[in-house]
Chains A and B, each alone.
Chain A
Amino acid sequence: MKRPILVTSSFLIISTIYTFSLFSWVSLQALSHLLQRWSHESEMTVYLRPEVKNSEINQLKQQLSPYLNQIKLQFQSPDEIRNHIQKIMPQSEFDFSQNDELASIIPPHIIITTTTSSLFGSSLFSLFEDIKTKINNLPYVESASYGKSWLDKYSLALGSFKKGALGFLAILSLTVVLAIGNTIRSYINSCRDEIEILELVGATPRMIRKPFLLKGALLSASAMFFALTLVSITIFFFKTNVSSFLPFLSLESGLYQLSFPEWISGLFGAVLVGLLGSYFCLIEINTGWAASESGQHE
């Protein structure tokens, strides 16, 4: 295959793999962001017996004190609940003072919410589960629930997806290493004459191998640059044109542009992959006693 065709086809293959990997990365970030946002809306409610005493409420708060750096407690007494309902529905016909059954329809309860943004998804739900286990057997606790169990499932699915994506990324990286290796191997084969001449005039193995190493790194880095640009343009397009059609996905805040450190990391990683891919082929260049190993003679 001619050199320009070989390099162009390899460039397209490698940039496609990089683009796919970057899109997966951005999608995972967007899904994590979505999970974070939804998780912060979740809260745990601990319903208490109607006859609960203040000392028992304090005892419950004491039980939860180890978690207070991560959670916020909000106690709602029956009076507060009634006031709240009357406040938000002033025209209502509920007369709590005349109807005991109605008055006790919503028992006193404590709402637990998270105070830290780093706690979301499965970690938040495992905290809620810990709290639930700790307080569920207390005599004055009616029940404790945090609902939104679908979020837990979403979080678990996202975790599995992340692990799967990491595995897939490893396979893709290996594919890129092999693709670069193949390109450089073909390149070396098409440069046999040049290599022979360089050996003839006393070039060291390092001098001969260096340009091929650089070619591998450059091929990989340019493919990554192309992929980064393509992904950035696509994100920009989604944020400006598509987010209005799909508001529930909150693309505006969830889908974010690749940061400068991500660009640098991407390019640096690509250079490393390129160097690795070409390095494996360079051991094929024999810069020592060539003929006796190949068995050529006149």
Chain B
Amino acid sequence: MIKLSHIYKTYHGPTHALRNINFEIEKGEFVFLTGPSGAGKTTLFKMISAYDKPTSGKVTVGDFSVEQLRLSEIPFYRRKVGVVFQDFKLLKNKTLFENVALPLIIRGDTTDFIKTKVMDTLELLGIQHKHNQYPEFISGGEQQRVAIARAIIHQPFILIADEPTGNLDPTLAQEIMQILEQICAQGTTVFVATHDTFLIDKYKKRRIEIHKGEILETSP
């Protein structure tokens, strides 16, 4: 599903953000990407979600050679990838319903389909009763649920979550992890960046550890 071969990323300076990254993730797998801040986790995620190009190497996601995507193809590729961030990235002036509906509106789905699909997804995440509220009036855990709902509503084949529990207390963090597990159980590949050792130890999933732009170890 996701295959990174000999990935190097060098910025002006020169700063080596990533060095010879190689790994493969199978369809429906749940993988943690760990490492300290500045290790290159976000850079790696940006490459998988077509926000950044490697200086050299090959990024393959499904049938897509991501680094070879033309500018016109990038939006359509991103519609097949779900991304969740630590800071939720919700539109403050839109209701939860409108935030979650965004990928479907952009895809051009019908109003009736959008209504049904959004309410089903919100129900799955247990926040359907708050669909008319605005993000700033709900808790951090609920905001992250909305962000996850928006990331999975269009049924992406991979879900990338960059520190999804970084802003949440341990209880809420575990709730979010359970939701991500459920999504993975339904067949979506889930790739989660975190440096929360408690969660990594508790969920016992495959782990890719990155440090100063290089892979230290992969387990199991």
| A interface residues (Cβ-Cβ under 8 A, vs B) | 193-194, 196-205, 207, 287-292, 295, 297-298
B39 within 8 Å of A by Cβ? yes
Contact present for B42 and A297 (CB under 8 Å): yes
Q: Let me know if B40 is at the binding interface, CB within 8 A.
A: yes
A289–B52 touching, CB < 8 Å: yes
Interface centre among B49, B78, B90, by most chain A C-beta atoms within 10 angstroms, is: B78
A298 touches B42 (CB 8 A): yes
B9 within 8 A of A: yes
Min Cβ gap B107→A in Å is: 7
Quick one: which of A198, A288, A292, A297 contacts B74, CB cutoff 8 A? A288
Q: Which residue in A203, A291, A298 is a CB contact (below 8 Å) of B75? A: A203
Q: Mark B89-103, 1 if CB is under 8 A from A, else 0.
A: 111000000000011
Among the listed B43, B91, B154, which residue makes an inter-chain contact with A298, where contact means beta carbons less than 8 Å apart? B43
**Within 8 Å CB of A292, what residues of B?**
52-53
A198 vs B53: C-alpha distance when bound (angstroms): 20
**B130 CB, min distance to chain A CBs, angstroms:** 19
B107 touches A202 (CB 8 A): yes
Closest to A288 in B: B71
Q: Does B58 contact A (CB under 8 A)?
A: no
A298 to B193, CA, bound (A): 13
Within the assembled complex, what's the spacing in Å between the Cα atoms of A289 and B52? 5
Question: Does the CB pair B74–A298 fall under 8 Å?
Answer: no
Having A201-B154, A202-B77, one finds 12 other A-B pairs with CB under 8 Å, namely A200-B89, A201-B103, A203-B106, A205-B71, A287-B71, A289-B50, A289-B51, A289-B52, A289-B53, A298-B37, A298-B40, A298-B43
Bound state CA distance, A197 and B154, in angstroms? 15
Nearest B residue to A200 via CB reads B83
User: Do most interface residues of chain A lie in helix, strand or loop, or is the interface mixed?
Assistant: helix
Contact A298 B106 (CB under 8 A): no
A-B contact pairs, 13 of them (CB 8 A): A196-B89, A197-B102, A199-B78, A200-B78, A201-B103, A202-B103, A204-B75, A205-B75, A207-B106, A287-B74, A288-B71, A291-B51, A297-B52
Give the nearest-CB partner of A207 in chain B: B106
Nearest residue, chain A, Cβ from B79: A202
Which residue from B37, B41, B74, B106 sits with its C-beta under 8 Å from A201?
Answer: B106
- Tell whether, in the assembled complex, residue B53 and residue A201 are in contact, meaning their CB atoms are under 8 Å apart: no
Alpha-carbon separation in the docked complex, A205 to B83 (Å): 19
8 Å CB contact of B38 from A193, A291, A298: A298
Are B89 and A202 neighbours in the complex by a CB distance under 8 Å?
Answer: no
Verify A298–B78 contact, CB threshold 8 A.
no
- Residues on B with beta carbons closer than 8 Å to the beta carbon of A193: 89, 91
- Chain B neighbourhood of A203, CB < 8 A: 75, 106
